[in-house]
A and B are shown apart, each in its own frame.
Chain A
Amino acid sequence: MEDVAFRAPASPGQSRGEARTGGEAALRGKIAIWWFLASEIMLFGGLITSFVLARLGGAAGTHEPLNVTVAAVNTFVLLTSSYTMVEAFAAAEHGNRPGMRFFLAVTVLAGLGFLGLKVYEYSGEIAHGFTPGRGGFWSFYYTMTGLHALHVLIGVVVNSALLVMAGAAIRRPYRVELAGLYWHFVDIVWIFLFPLLYLT
């Protein structure tokens, strides 16, 4: 007895779970990175919600003397690096190795530039006595921007690895795409942090 209703549509040539083709690996990588980013969203979401609630409750202070100009420049730097990351993936997809290397290098430099400016900011603030122990606002400020900077650093390391092993990245361009998804996420987090910390 063969119950027709129970049978799956027949396509004997295809066996899921076997293929280690580029398309399959790219799909797995994408699904994995999206789940990872979902939990990252909850991590920064937890921090940002805590900050907003503390602020509404009056615990996290009001306006504090932050260097808005440097932060605005940094926002521009990060946004630019998201653009160059997109270009790096486009170049990788077309097998354009010099192009990919160039745009990855710019992305890495932008990341390093962001971190450099952040260190400059931190040292200025600490010099003026605004240390993490200075109160509610500064606790959140250092923790949130510090965690974000750590994410930028990880992105710089990943992008540098792709740059160094450019041959492998050209053969598997989806790796550049996956690194790009992460990099854009780090960028978006900053888009939330900048107005919350500097402008409100």
Chain B
Amino acid sequence: MTPALATAAAPPHQAAGFWRTYVVSTDHKTIAKQYLTLGLVMALIGGYLAYVMRWQLAYPDTSVPGFGFVGPETYNTLVTMHGTIMVFFVAMPILLGTFGNFLIPLMIGARDMAFPKLNALSFWLLATGSLVLVVSFFVPGGAAAAGWTGYPPLSARAEYTGVEWGLNLWLLAHAIEFAAFLLGGVNFLTTAITMRAHGLTPGRLPLMIWQLLTASVLFLLSVGPLIAGAIMLLMDRIAGTGFFLPDRGGEPLLWQHLFWFFGHPEVYVVLLPPLGAVLEVLSVFSRKPIFGYRLIIGGTLAAGALSFIVWAHHMFVSGMDPRLAMPFSITTILISVPFALIMFAMIATLWRGSIRFETPMLWALGFVAMFITGGLTGIFNGSAPADIYIANTYFVVAHFHYTLFAAVFFGGFAGLYFWYPKMFGRMLGDRLGPLHFWLTLVFFNLTFFPMHWLGLAGMVRRIADPTQYEMLVPYQYLNVFVTVSSLGLIVAQGIFLLNFFLSLVRGRMAPANPWQAATLEWTTSSPPPHGNWGPALPEVERGAYDYSFPGAAQDWLPQRRLAVPAIAGGQE
């Protein structure tokens, strides 16, 4: 077609050795798999920490099998590192790193990212950051123990937590992680802005792309103040400055403002990609166009914008000016409106669809149910009078696990089960998939729902031994119950790992379009070749969700303009 095609055609894949193919590859699909591997490895560590924590809470001060004795100091390290790892080194690598890298070029019809080398650099920066974080467990004094939010003064002085280098390395790991995702986000945005297939206007982009891009923008615009805060905290620790230390004229609340200015948008950085995955899955497996495509985009952008002015809802009990509580309550309750609209659009998409209960769809439906539950408890947290009662209790722990954990798990697995055939060229076993889903759904609720009661009963976060508070002793059976359930939840994930690896070698070979989906990535082979599209780039002639299209001979119309008219036949 164009002379440029020749130059862009990729060199033959076989020519590169192991090192170039798997380690320093600049192919976005390989980099996506690297993010997935890193995220899963870190998830094992984060999950192990959760197990040790839960054991300690159920059977305080007994030796934890596979770990040993947990004292209060170690417990502080466990909560801190569990939160840090799960948010920054599991959720972001898998949801943003894997999905973003794999899907953006494939869904917009590009051959790779705008800056492939920068892309590889992003991943290796993140891997370095992860390594720094893991190493911090083994330095004298152990890993960071000031909470995943790192509030000063606790985090600003080594003697308060007994952690010296662990916390400095924790800050360093964050700095590297932020740099990695900053470069990654710049790459995502540049790619999607400049490299879309011919005919792929913004109004035809799959919603997954809109979600990934909004998440990237939110991250880029919110992380700056936290980097500023992290530099200040590091200066307090090593250069003797007094930003956050009252005895040096500092102001601890300043950190909380900087942290949560980032923290709330960050929640959406983690939430939006799985939300996008669920939207794709719901449409494909209902065989219906997505309901309210424009409404969903508008809602996403509105929620993104609002997320910059809600942060102080994390600080209602921190001693900030009480006159600020009402405006931040109002913005917080406002932000549930766009999400309620999106949830409504999801349910309306299902309405009178021909629903196919394949494994990705089960996860997507689980996401809708769990996220609505988590969203409802968010209203309690957002309204200052209610929040003052439940702040820092297990009610909040339950809330953010119902939202964040549900988004990561149910949305993330919806996406992984959906795109696994495209990524690895094989189908995931379809017996283990539903088993994994149902066990996860049941144990997830058994684990996290009782935490609401524990919170209302007054159990605060980050205590190593609930039985030392007399008022909590009658509720200890709930802690035991939660721990047993959480073991079930962890064991259930073994089914996924088993399925994942077994299917890699034994799974049925995946056709190009196993789910009869309309978006671009399903029109190339599974897995796509190096360069994604063969000699000619795809061109797009319609929106992403033309399912059950009136007058069409088949059930769906692919976005891609085909040589043979789409009506004449499929491509399977």
Contact = CB atoms under 8 A, between A and B. Distances in A.
A1 B242 CA distance: 71
* Interface residues on chain A, size class: 35 or more
Given A15-B4, A19-B4, A40 B224 contact: yes
A42 to B, nearest CB: 3
B473 to A, nearest CB: 44
B194 A31 contact: yes
Contact of A50 (B190, B223, B228): B228
B231 A147 contact: yes
Nearest to B234: A143
A24 B220 contact: no
Interface in B117-141: none
A59 B251 contact: yes
Contacts of B483: none
A128 interface: no
Contacts of B198: 8, 11, 14-16
Could you say which of A11, A17, A18, A32 has the most chain B C-beta atoms within 10 Å of its C-beta?
Answer: A17
B542 A6 contact: yes
A13 interface: yes
A108 B250 CA distance: 37
B196 A16 contact: yes
A24 B193 CA distance: 12
B567 to A, nearest CB: 6
B551 to A, nearest CB: 6
A131 B195 contact: no
A41 interface: yes
Interface stretch (B81-89, B348-356, B360-368, B533-541): B533-541
A15 B565 contact: no
Interface string A127-170: 00001110110111011000100000000000000000000000
Contact of B540 (A8, A45, A50): A8
Contacts of A18: 2, 4-5, 8, 111, 537
A191 interface: no
B239 A8 contact: no
Given A35-B190, A132-B240, A45 B251 contact: no
B320 to A, nearest CB: 12
A6 B541 contact: yes
Nearest to A54: B251
Contact of A47 (B187, B228, B542, B543): B228
A3 B561 CA distance: 12
A46 B541 CA distance: 44
Interface string A29-56: 0011001101111111111011001100
B319 interface: no
B5 A15 contact: yes
Contact of A17 (B7, B197, B242): B197
Given A3-B542, A14-B2, A50-B254, A42 B222 contact: yes
A64 to B, nearest CB: 13
A140 B243 CA distance: 8
B240 A17 contact: no
Contacts of A133: 239-242, 248
A160 to B, nearest CB: 21
A17 B195 contact: yes
A17 B190 CA distance: 11
B116 to A, nearest CB: 12
B38 interface: no
Interface string A91-103: 0000000000000
Nearest to B242: A139
Contacts of B552: 1
A54 B254 contact: yes
B248 A35 contact: no
A13 B4 contact: no
Contact of A43 (B114, B228, B567): B228
A21 B4 contact: yes
A20 interface: yes
A109 to B, nearest CB: 28
Contacts of A72: none
B182 A36 contact: yes
Nearest to A45: B224
B409 to A, nearest CB: 29
B110 interface: yes
B193 A31 contact: yes
Contacts of B254: 50, 53-54
A7 interface: yes
B225 interface: yes
Nearest to B108: A17
Nearest to B235: A143
Contact of B194 (A8, A21, A24, A46): A24
B182 A139 contact: no
Contact of B223 (A27, A31, A39, A132): A39
A65 interface: no
Given A15-B537, A59-B251, A32 B5 contact: no
B537 to A, nearest CB: 5
B189 interface: yes
Contact of B249 (A13, A132, A136): A136
B199 interface: yes
A132 B239 contact: yes
Interface of A: 1-3, 6-8, 11-21, 24, 27-28, 31-32, 35-36, 38-47, 49-50, 53-54, 57, 59, 131-133, 135-136, 138-140, 142-143, 147
Q: Which 4 pairs across A and B sit closest by C-beta, in order of nearness?
A: A42-B224, A46-B225, A133-B240, A8-B199
Interface of B: 1-2, 4-5, 7-8, 108-111, 114-115, 182, 185-187, 189-190, 193-199, 201, 220-229, 231-232, 235-236, 239-243, 248-251, 254, 258, 261, 537, 539-543, 551-552, 565, 567
18 contacts: A1-B565, A8-B541, A15-B1, A18-B5, A20-B7, A32-B189, A32-B190, A35-B190, A42-B224, A42-B225, A45-B224, A46-B227, A47-B232, A133-B240, A136-B242, A139-B235, A139-B242, A143-B241
Given A17-B196, A28-B114, 10 more contacts: A16-B195, A18-B537, A36-B186, A40-B224, A46-B224, A46-B228, A132-B241, A133-B242, A138-B241, A139-B236
